[in-house]
Structures are given as C-alpha cells and as structure tokens.
A = this chain, B = another copy of it.
C-alpha cells in the first residue's frame, strides 16, 4: 500500500529539479493504464476507489481525470462521473481522416523545415527498420513502434509547435489505444516501409508538395488496411 504523505521525494536533491507534481505522475500512470487497456475501454471510473488504490486524495485524482478528458481518453458527465472512452470503428476512421490532413501538412512543413542532421538521422532510423524487416520478419515491431517513431519525427520536423502538440500530445495516445486494444498487427509492413522511403526521398529533395501528397497516400493506405482488417471483426 502506498504511503499517504510523500510530498518530499527526498532522495537525490542534486539531480532532481523535475519537481514533477503528484497529479502529473498520476496522470501518466492512468494514461498508460487506459491506453494499454488495463482500465477497460468503456468502464466507469470510480473516484473513491481509484483514489484509494493510488493512495491519493480525490482532488488530485480529479485534476488528473480532467487532463485525461482533455485528451479524449475519458468522457465526463456532470454528477454521473467519468467513463473511459469507448472505441468504435467510426471513431477510428475519423482519426485517420484527421491524421491524413494534419500529418500531410506536417510532411509538407518538414520538407521545408527539417535540418540536414534531422534528415540524416531519419534516414538512419529507416535503415534500421529495413534491417529489422529482413532479419526477423519483424512485422509486429515495425507496425507498432517503428511506424509511430517515423511519423513522430516527421511531425517534430514540421517545427510547428501547435501541430506537434495536437498530434503528439493528443491524437497519438488515442491512436496507440486503438493499436493496443484492437491488436492492429499488419501484413503491410513491407509496403509501409517502402512508402516511408518514398516520403523521405521527397523530404530530402525538399519537395513539400510531394511530401504532403505521399504522406496522405501513405495514411490512406494504412486506413484501408485497418478497414479491411476490422470489417472481419465487426
């Protein structure tokens, strides 16, 4: 059982300017639990129970829930409490439409704004992915982690802070939740890898227009793959 009053995490005063607040940690913990399905999608969140389980007051818990709501991982109704968001085929499609628009723009901006070093690093990352695919027929790894890594770097490369926040802080967590809980492994990793290559070439050429086009096509392909995969389930 967690102890109750630990405002002073007293160890290591030298290298500890983080001063991360209790609510912050709680938020991270809960977000992970929700994304990975540990707290099931659609389930009700009981404030007293969760607060007790994490050894924390309801006030702090409430702030954390508020942030989860801002990221659309939970939905709250006045006097009725909060529920973990329920995943649906329709919502997933909506997310892909948004990604197509937003990441397309990100790719366009990245082609303009990424530094040469960043581009080189991205090339190296992609090479590593290629080897992984050869080596271990690494379908799972590539689709789940590598793909997100690649997209993540493109978004960062856009240098548009608002855009980065929108995608990396908000949307991607929801997307990861779908990946975890719908088990979205794919037989498409080889093709996705190739598409990443085309896109990167456009960025190397600093061709924003082309980069946007390719990114949008890449995400559309990915969406179609998900559609066909899920239509079996639903």
Contacts and interface: CB of A to CB of B under 8 A. Distances in A.
Given A63-B63, A66-B67, A70-B70, A97 B160 contact: yes
B97 A105 contact: yes
Contact of A91 (B62, B72, B79, B161): B161
A155 B58 CA distance: 37
Interface string A46-80: 00000000000001001100110110100000110
Given A20-B78, A78-B20, A79-B19, A97 B163 contact: yes
Contacts of A91: 161-162
Contact of A101 (B67, B78, B104, B161): B104
Given A59-B59, A62-B63, A166-B166, A101 B105 contact: yes
A67 to B, nearest CB: 7
A59 B165 CA distance: 27
A98 interface: yes
A105 B98 contact: yes
A229 interface: no
Contacts of A78: 19-21, 24
Given A70-B67, A78-B20, A79-B19, A166 B109 contact: no
Interface of A: 19-21, 24, 59, 62-63, 66-67, 69-70, 72, 78-79, 91, 94-95, 97-98, 100-102, 104-105, 109, 160-163, 165-166
